[in-house]
Structure 1
Amino acid sequence: MATDIHLGNLIESSPDIRKGRPCIAGTGVTVRRVAQWYRLGHGPEDIADRVGHLSMAQIYAALAYYHANQEAIEADLAEEATTAEALEHEHEG
């Protein structure tokens, strides 16, 4: 008999892993990483090909979480981009 997997068990957050960012449970893959690939135009199947150890259920759970929390994840991505840009300018000269 197949084991039921509840969607609430597919995404987890821990302050000790990836600075508390939501991750696909049991992996170090953050929801925001999946969201970045998605925003670049990669579909779920392509993302699964890129990260072969993730199931389609895990990819779709990450995308569902992203869409349900899009504002917060977009803000996190924007903050990271701003920090990266500042570091680039700091090391230019």
Structure 2
Amino acid sequence: MENLQQYISINPNIRFGKPCIKGTRIAVGDILQWLASGMSYEDILNDFPSLRQEHILAALSFAAYREQVSQIIAA
């Protein structure tokens, strides 16, 4: 997904700086946990009407990008 900044914001005054869906207090991690617990896109969208499918895809893309760029530094 291109242009994640369109959907994701990081603000130290919202959710302690966790990446969130713009205009909400819903963190990327929240969406990932809901998906991991077995919720479907439809379940999430029904429970949180302020979200759209693009937000879920942006959260997944954000997490995939972070995983790709994270490194483990051996001590």
TM-score under structure 2 length normalisation:
0.75
The structure whose residues are more often helix, as a share, is 1
Instruction: Check the 8 A contact 1:13/1:20 in 2, yes or no.
Output: yes
- Aligned Cα root-mean-square deviation (Å): 1.8
Instruction: Check the 8 A contact 2:7/2:22 in 1, yes or no.
Output: yes
Q: State the partner residue of 1:17.
A: 14
Residue 25 of structure 1 aligns with an amino acid whose one-letter code is K
Structure 2 unaligned residues grouped into runs of 5+: 69-75
TM-score under structure 1 length normalisation:
0.62
Q: Work out the CA distance in 1 between the residues paired with 2:4 and 2:26.
A: 16
CA-CA distance at 1:50 after TM superposition: 1.6
Identity of aligned residues (%): 35
- The answer to which structure, 1 or 2, has the higher relative contact order (CA under 8 A, 6+ apart) is 2
Structure 1 unaligned residues grouped into runs of 5+: 1-5, 72-93
Instruction: Check the 8 A contact 2:4/2:62 in 1, yes or no.
Output: no
Q: State the partner residue of 1:32.
A: 29
DSSP 3-state at the match of 2:29: helix
Moved over 4 A (4+): none
| Total equivalences in the alignment | 66
Q: State the partner residue of 1:52.
A: 49
Instruction: Check the 8 A contact 2:11/2:18 in 1, yes or no.
Output: yes
Instruction: Check the 8 A contact 2:10/2:19 in 1, yes or no.
Output: yes
Larger Rg belongs to: 1
